[in-house]
Structure 1
Amino acid sequence: MSIQWFPGHMHLTRKLIAERIKDIDVVIEVLDARMPGSSANPALTELTGHKPTLKIINKQDMADAARTALWVDWYDAQHETKALPLDASEPAPAKRLVEACRKLAPGRGGMAKPLRVLICGVPNVGKSTLINSMSGKGQAKAGDEAGVTKDEQRIVLDDDFYLWDTPGMLWPKIIVPQTGYNLAACGSVGRNAYDDELVALELLLYLQMHYARHLDERYKLGLDDEEIAALHDDELLTLIGKKRGAVMSGGRVNMQKAAELLITDFRTQMLGRITLEVPAEFEQWRAAGEAAEAEHQAKKAEHAKHRKAGRKRY
């Protein structure tokens, strides 16, 4: 089952960005440090790919520090791209952000040629909270859910630095299954777009392999890493449900409740600092997703060809 979420206002945002990008010097894409690949929007890359880009790896205080460093190096190695890790404790994010943007567009600056910057990202990556911390004026609506910002806003961070904030936007079709699950686990898709239990089980599969100690420390499982990794995901979620009191009459575990508890523990950092992907595995996921999509489109085209030939015969 793939996770998809592209409500109508996101289509309008896409059109807005396509129009605004003509006058933009630098693009800032805010990413979630827990999923720096999955939260990078390929549709934004298509729209803004020819512009210098600053990748803000936000919420780094919630992510695995060693993995964040891998992502910074990965993005820094890309053409006209700079990565900047940030978190809510950053004392002066505006200064670092403005300096990084000026380095990406050295030919812009001063009142005659003000630096024009577009800031964008998928929903719930902390973009609006970051903007408010930079401007100090609470200009951007913020909330712990996907899709709070709905309109474009212009914010002045310096006399010659204009920042356009756009609503959070996903892309019409998510072709990498792991990306959909990661977006759901981190709260970047609408609540009605996914099944809690399915997302929790996918999350557990990854945590079993890479963060078994985090699971044991939170839920007091009394198992070593190999034993945790060997459990079937249903068994592990059932065990977590028992440990967290998600038990119904008759001793049965409420799997829906257990799933909600696990996802909440992950989002609120009760499981510790976790990153759900590294660059190498994300590239493998993306390559597999692109190959599967290409095969699907080829079969679709072949089917349409046969249908058209059939109509001609009759």
Structure 2
Amino acid sequence: MPIQWFPGHMNSARKKAAEMLAAIDVVIEVTDARLPEASSNPMIGELRRFRNRPCLKLLNKVDLADPAATKAWMDFYNRQPGVRAVAISAKKSADVARIPGLCRTLAPHRDDGTKPLRMMIMGIPNVGKSTIMNALLKRKVAAVGDEPAVTKQLQTLDLGPGMTLTDTPGLMWPKIEHDSDGYMLAASHAIGRNAVIDEEVAAFLGEILIVRYPDLLAARYKLDPGGMDGPALVEAVGLRRGCRVKGGGLDLEKAAHILLNDYRSGTLGRISLETPDSREAMLATAKAEQRDDSADVDEPELE
């Protein structure tokens, strides 16, 4: 089932952010280091490119991501014009403290002290924007929660002498084009639970883990994932963890929560759900499927 999630407040927040970008020097885009492209709102890229604004792309939660995949993503983004990519953990004050200085390198015209450096922080829900805001200002100015879409209003705050920072709500986009992106976002808790079925999301996550991280599964759950598919892995986790409903049947919802929570918390290990290569392969497959669908529609019926 395709996953879509676009609460009403996000549309008005997107319009306000677009208006404010005219007076912004640098866009700080926060993504999830485990799925940097799937967690990058395409509207943010469109808005900043329209205004020709440079971007400091923060790959947050790097402590949860596969280091090899993160390095590949850093190389990928730092080849793009107007983009500086940095991998951080918002929980580390030293990582967050680097952000203003990095923004200054992207807007050298604001380094003369005549006008403040104006930054705007953007990103999808639950990638750590509020945690970064609070760490930069050394006080709680943004609500932090484990549920997506905690922040709902724009606010601009002084970040010290000659710097301002505008915080924006987590912004999704109206239609997630690729189903796999929706599932990766749901697995990483960037989408509200009312929009997803946890068992399906866990099965999708399981497919990736079986292929890329079988050793982590074996170590965590004391099982051999060889020959399993995603649903079978969820069942196996449920059996290993004694997930039973009244009457003795397997509680697949509870098993799904265990797998998802172990991934989200990093208990399972350092995991990335996509790499530049896997992203390229997914897009190529999607493009080929679109061509096939178009050919089927255009082909005339034989009488």
TM-score (norm 2): 0.92
SS of equivalent to 2:159: strand
SS of equivalent to 2:164: strand
- Structure 1 unaligned segments of length 5 or more: list them: 303-314
Task: Name the amino acid aligned to 1:108.
Answer: R
Paired with 1:110 and 1:143, the residues of 2 have a C-alpha distance of 38
Aligned to 1:267: 264
> Given that residues 34 and 63 in structure 1 are in contact (C-alpha distance below 8 angstroms), is that contact kept between their aligned partners in structure 2?
yes
> Given that residues 210 and 229 in structure 2 are in contact (C-alpha distance below 8 angstroms), is that contact kept between their aligned partners in structure 1?
no
- Structure 2 unaligned segments of length 5 or more: list them: 299-303
How has the CA–CA distance of structure 1 residues 96 and 241 changed in structure 2, closer, same or farther, with 3 Å as cutoff?
same
Offset at residue 237 of structure 1 (A): 1.4
Give 1:95's match in structure 2, choosing from 93, 97, 111. Answer: 97
Number of corresponding residues:
296
Give 1:247's match in structure 2, choosing from 240, 244, 247. Answer: 244
> Given that residues 206 and 229 in structure 2 are in contact (C-alpha distance below 8 angstroms), is that contact kept between their aligned partners in structure 1?
no
Alpha-carbon RMSD across the aligned residues, in angstroms, is 2.1
> Given that residues 27 and 117 in structure 1 are in contact (C-alpha distance below 8 angstroms), is that contact kept between their aligned partners in structure 2?
yes
Which 10-residue stretch deviates more, 83-92 or 131-140?
83-92
Offset at residue 249 of structure 1 (A): 4.8
Paired with 2:97 and 2:294, the residues of 1 have a C-alpha distance of 46
Aligned to 1:58: 60
Task: Name the amino acid aligned to 2:104.
Answer: R
Give 1:184's match in structure 2, choosing from 183, 186, 209. Answer: 186
How has the CA–CA distance of structure 1 residues 80 and 4 changed in structure 2, closer, same or farther, with 3 Å as cutoff?
same
Offset at residue 242 of structure 1 (A): 0.7
Task: Name the amino acid aligned to 2:4.
Answer: Q
How has the CA–CA distance of structure 1 residues 240 and 155 changed in structure 2, closer, same or farther, with 3 Å as cutoff?
same
Which segments of structure 1 move beyond 4 Å, counting only runs of 4 or more? 287-300
Give 1:124's match in structure 2, choosing from 119, 123, 126. Answer: 126
How has the CA–CA distance of structure 1 residues 297 and 191 changed in structure 2, closer, same or farther, with 3 Å as cutoff?
farther
Offset at residue 284 of structure 1 (A): 2.9
SS of equivalent to 1:230: coil
Which 10-residue stretch deviates more, 108-117 or 132-141?
108-117
Aligned to 1:3: 3
Aligned to 1:258: 255
Offset at residue 176 of structure 1 (A): 1.1
Paired with 1:20 and 1:286, the residues of 2 have a C-alpha distance of 32
Give 1:157's match in structure 2, choosing from 141, 156, 159. Answer: 159
Written as runs of structure 1 = structure 2, the 5 A alignment for 1:75-154 is 75-154=77-156
Paired with 1:17 and 1:294, the residues of 2 have a C-alpha distance of 36
Aligned to 1:40: 40
Q: Deviations over 1:210-256 (max 9, x none)?
A: 011111111111x2xxxx24213222211110111102355431111
Aligned to 1:305: none
How has the CA–CA distance of structure 1 residues 294 and 52 changed in structure 2, closer, same or farther, with 3 Å as cutoff?
farther
Paired with 1:99 and 1:128, the residues of 2 have a C-alpha distance of 19
Which 10-residue stretch deviates more, 244-253 or 204-213?
244-253
Offset at residue 298 of structure 1 (A): 10
SS of equivalent to 2:147: coil
Paired with 1:162 and 1:299, the residues of 2 have a C-alpha distance of 54
Q: Deviations over 1:51-93 (max 9, x none)?
A: 1000001111111111111111111110110011111442334
Paired with 1:288 and 1:20, the residues of 2 have a C-alpha distance of 37
The answer to whether the aligner puts 1:276 opposite 2:266 as a matched pair is no
> Given that residues 111 and 159 in structure 1 are in contact (C-alpha distance below 8 angstroms), is that contact kept between their aligned partners in structure 2?
no
Offset at residue 18 of structure 1 (A): 1.1
Task: Name the amino acid aligned to 2:236.
Answer: L
Paired with 1:250 and 1:126, the residues of 2 have a C-alpha distance of 41
